[in-house]
Structure formats: structure tokens, C-alpha cells
Structure 1
Amino acid sequence: MGDNLLLSLDSPETSNNDNEQFVTEQKRIDDSLDRSRLAAEQAVAAARSIQSSAEELRNVVDGELVTAQRRESHLRRSLSRQEAKLATKSSEYHALASQALATSSRLEQRIAESEEARATLAMELSNALDRIAELESILEGRASHRASLGSSKLHHCAQCDQYREELENAHKKIHAYETTIEQRTTAAQFSVEELANSLANQKRLEAEKKAMKRIHEEEIQRLQNEIEEKDALLAQFNEQLIAANDEVLEIHESQVKESKLRACGMSGVSDTSAVRADEENEVLKSRIYELEEETQILRNAMETDHQAQMEKADDINILRDELDLLQRKHERAEMIITQLKRLLMGISDVCLTGTERVNTAWDNPEADQIDNALDMTVGSKRIGFY
């Protein structure tokens, strides 16, 4: 009976302690539930913010991709225009070549028309050589005759002076021909040197044109590689964003499920589970911060790439202007070379062999009897030298 009395005396205090402990536990559970709900709401808000930033970044990346594709299309159209322009210039060059051939035909016709005059001049030169030989023979005969007569018979001979004057004039004429030949030879050599320099410049311009075309193709390939890299980077970022969204939704669903269990009185959450929930929230926040930092880094990288692309576009425009200038110089050099080729055709051979022909005609006594001793063949034409 004493034991029952003692139990009855202790029961109210024990009941009060249990009630207080239950109230405290319930309050702690409610606080933990509020913190979990607040953390879940913050996580959802952060996930929505990340999703909004990702959408904005995706729009920016799409805009950059569209811009890069337009720039690539523009470069391809520019390259097509350049190729069309080169084809047009090539056709113009062929037309100029045809015109030059026609001019060459007219020059050959004029050469044929002037053959008669040149032959006449060659005949005059041959006659002059014959006259020189005749005068020298006459003078030698007069000198021997005067020597045979003796000093007492010597007297002034006006005809001999006339012969000497004619002989001196003939020598002057020959010297003038030799001077003309030397001048033409020098001019021909100078023209040949200019032609060689023009050919070297033409080769250099062609090499520069090929280098510019190669640089243009490399720039297009580089833009294509940048577009592929941005596509891969955007796909990677989308995967990370999807994984983060899945993680946030999973945590949110687990917290909602746990909250429902607590509301039904079936929760057995302790201080350890609350700490674990806080740690998960901290991990989620750190993950959100990392994603925001990666997003900012990606934006900075895209801004840097955009600036670099604008600078490269300016460089491409400068290179395109230089290419146009080089093409104009190349066309002008081709025209000059074509004219030089047509105008100097055969002149070098004529001038180089002219001196030899004159020396041969002067030194060879038998050449005096040949009317066309100075004639020569240039290509398919036989002309007289003068």
C-alpha cells in the first residue's frame, strides 16, 4: 500500500516532465521543419535564379553563334566574290593577250612592209663598202704611180682629195652605224633586265596572293572551330544545369516528404538529422555559388572571344584591302610584261648580232660583192640591217 501511495505521489510530476519534454521536442521539430522549409524555398529560388541566368546565357550564346555563323557566311561570300573577281580578271587578261597577239600581227605586217626599205638601206651600205674598197684601190694606185714618177713629178691631186673625203665620210657612216648598234644593244639589255625584274615581281605577287588566300581559308577554319567549341561548351553547361536542377528537386522532394511525415506524427528526426539537413543545405548553396561562378567565367570568356573576333574581323578587312591592292598591282604588272614581251620580241637578237654582221662585212673582202651581207632572219621574217 505504501508503494502504491508513493507511485501515486510521483505520477503527477512525472507526467508534467513528460509533457514539457514533449512540448520541447515538438517545438524543436517545428523549428527544424521551418528551417528545412525555408532552406527548401531558398534552394528553389536559387535554382530558379540559376535557370533564369542559364536561359539568359543560352540566349547570349545563341546570339553569338548566329553572329559567328553570319560572319562565316559573309567570309564565304567574300571569298566567292574574290574568286569571281579573279576569274573576271583572268578573262580580261586573256582578252588583253588576244589584243596583244593582234598587235603583234600588225607589227609583223609593218615589218614586212618595211623590208623593202631596209633592203634598200642594206644595199646602200653594201654600195658604200664597195665604193670604199674602190677608193682605197684608186688611192693605192695613185700613190704607187706618184712614187714611180719620183718627187719631181709630184703635184697636188684634187681628185685624190675628193676620194679621201668620200672615204672619210664612208668611215664616219660606218662608225655611226656601229654607234647605233651599240646603243640599241644597250637599250635591249636594259629592257631584258626590266623584263626579268617584272617577271620576278609577278612571281612575288602571285606568292603573296596565294598566301592571302591561305590566310583567308585558315581564318574561316578557325571560326568554324570556335563555333564547334562554343557548341560543346554550351552542351556541357546545359548538362551541369540539368544535374543541378535534378539535385535541387530531389532535395526539395525529400524535404517535403519529411515534412509530411513530421506533420503526421511519424517523424523521428533528431538533432543529428537536423545537422545533416543543414549540411545538405550548405552543400547545395556552395554548389549554387559554384554554378554562378562558372556562369560568370563563361560570360567573361564569351565576351573576350567576341572582342577577339571583332579584332580579327578588322584584320580580315585590312588584309582584304591589301589583297585588292596587290591584285591591281599584279594586273598592271601583267599588262606591262605583256607589252614588253611584244615590243622586245626579236630586238635583242637583232642588236646583239648587228655588230658582228658589220665587222664581218668590214673585215671580209668577199663581202663587198654580196648585196645582202647585212640581212638576217628574225623569226619567220628576213630583214635587212640598218
Structure 2
Amino acid sequence: MSDQITKHLESHVKLNLFDDHFNQNPYPTFSDLRKDEPVYQTIMPDGQQAWIITRYEDAALALKEPRFVKDPENAGHEIAADSPLNPKNNILAKHMLISDPPDHRRLRSLVQQAFTPRKIEGLRGRIEEITNDLLDGMEDKDQIDLIQSLAFPLPIIVICEMLGVPKEDHDKFRRWSNRIVETVNNAERAKEVKGDIEAFVGYLRDWIDKRRQDPREDMISDLILAEQEGDKLTEQELYSLVFLLLIAGHETTVNLIGNGVLALLQHPEQKRLLQNHPELIKNAIEELLRYDGPVMFSTSRWASEDIDFIGKTISKGDLVLIALDSANRDPEHFPEPDKLDLNREPNRHLAFGKGIHFCLGAPLARLEAELAINTLLRRVPNLALACKPDALTWRPGMLMRGLDKLPVTWRRFD
């Protein structure tokens, strides 16, 4: 690392995206940045220049700014030829989250019909069945890890059933997704998971080959058909889209359920309110998304030209990161932002982003969280933390905000 980068790092110590202390509770740091330096310049561990945007209005503007592009090549940003983040080295790196129009529009159109509110509502009965089956398996236990027992298996079962992934392979996807997601925007850590990426690609290749020979009534068969039609989907785009759907299709919901249940357990009056008035669940999910959202930072954007943004000059090729969880605690937009209020209205949070990259799976994540949390509170009315809050640990990485484990206990299981 050059002396210049070292000096810059030493002078920019407010925000270390990979620091355990920051991950444990990023909100005091976000509060300081919103007050003192809302568009914050920093350097990533690999020496890359980056800007962190923390205020609500600025974040909403940045999420819709077309000059902040998702494909680094469109910003003249060169990824090292040997980097695992380079699409030439990674067959999984060609999906909607790293594409700009017109490719983004084409890729999104291929899958958006599977995620319309009407189609997602049609999954309600199956999601309720899965939730109750998972809770049935906890009845004879005195203590469980809610992440392992409910928050993870529910969304992974749902998305795997939509895609057609066999049940016996679900745990593989959790291991691969955890490892890969934690390396986002960190080329050094991405090198550590090269083997996981290769294993995942090998699995996808075999699985897709089987579906080509034996198509089914599932989403993967539909995507293969699109690939075979030539101009709609390339082979790399097919692999990348399946990867994105598997990862994004459950990662957000795992954290939404885990973070949401923790927030309710730490605010017993709000937990009782929801138990007494389960019809508040839709409001509750929006507030839980705002209060401690599942995605701490938006996926990467790069400046496609020199941009004067809120008094700062962001140079062409600079990385831009939008702190969604910070924006959702901005007191200029949300009265008493550090207070959990399930009756909060209006609640126009940014947990799922904004603009053309608004999360495609938002309706599914909302429905899964609504059913999981309401069913859990109804069947386990005395749910409680089984450890002190400061004993909880949060997963590393700068993209997602989620717990490693959430140990809980109860005195009566209905």
C-alpha cells in the first residue's frame, strides 16, 4: 500500500466498513456522518476511492441518479485483470445489479413476472405451511437459534421451490451465499472464496444441463428457454441471474426476519402491541425495515463522469455507496428515528432502494416476513432472548446487515 493511501486511511478513521465494532452498531457513526460529513470520502481496503452517502434526501437522489452507473466499465473503472470481481473471471458477474440500461431493462423483464404482487400473494398458503412446519420442529426444544431454525430455512425453501432446486441442496446454498455476499466490494476477501464460487458454478452447470434435457414448470426452465432464444439471454447472464435470484431471493428476508424479531424482543411494548393487534403487521414490517434494515449499503455504483454532488466533486470512476440504514434513521425525514414505532405513518423508507434498481423481490420479502413474524408471535407468545444483547454478533461484510445467530427461548409453545 502506498504512503499516500496509508496517510489517507489514517486521516479517515470515522468509518471502517469492515470493523467489528462498526458492524455491531453502525448507527452512532452514521449519526455523526449525517451531521458532520454527509457525503463522506474514504478509501476501501484495496485502495479504491469511495464516497459514502448517509442522509435521506441525498440517498434518494443518488439512488435515481443515472450518472451513478452499476457497470464499472460504463464509468471507465478498470477492475484488475486477475480480480475475482472481474466479469471475465467470474461467470456469476453479469446480472441486473451490475447492469445499466438497456441491458438492465432486458434482464429485469425476464424475471419480473414471477415477482408481481399478485403472483407473490398466490404463495401465501405455501409460505404459511412452511412456517408452521418449521415451528412444529421447535416444540420439543427449550432454546433455538431463530436464524437457523426459521429465518434462513423459510425464504430459502420458497425461492428454491420457485426455481426448482432440490431440497437436499438448500444447505449448500446457504454456505455459498454467506461466503460470497460477505466479499462484496472487497477484492482481497473475494480471492478467499474462489473455491466457493467455483463449486457454486459447477453445481449450476450440472443443474442447468439437467433442466435443458428435462424442462419443468419452474423459473429456471423459463430462463433456459430465454437463453436458447439467443438474443434475450447469454449463457453468462443465465448463470448470473440464477445466482442473483438464489442469493437475493433469501438473503434479504433472512435478515429482515432476524433483525425484526430482535427489535421486537428489545421493545417489549411494541411486541405486545403487535401480538394484541396482528392486523398491524404490514405497518410493522415497514417500520422494522426502516429501524434496522436488512441491507446496510446499496450495491455499488460508479460515477460515469465528474459530478458535483451536494457540494462535493465525485470524480469519474469513483465508487459510490449509499448507506440505506443511515438514511432510514435521518431525523430530518423521520421524527424520533431511533424509536421503534409500529404505528409510524408515513414511512417512506429506502430499505429496498429506489428507482430502476428497486428490489424486485420486495413483495416476496414482505410477505414472508409478515407470515413468519405474526405466526411466531401467535404460537410462541413468551418468546424471549436467550442471551444478553451485547453477546450477539453480526455477520461481516459491508452489504448486508444480519445476525450470525439469534438464540431465543420461551415458557409456553401454543
TM-score past 0.5 threshold: no
Q: Whose strand proportion is higher, 1 or 2? A: 2
| TM-score after normalising by structure 2 | 0.16
| TM-score after normalising by structure 1 | 0.17
**Greater RCO between the two (CA within 8 Å, min separation 6)?**
1
Bigger Rg, which one: 1
Q: Whose helix proportion is higher, 1 or 2? A: 1
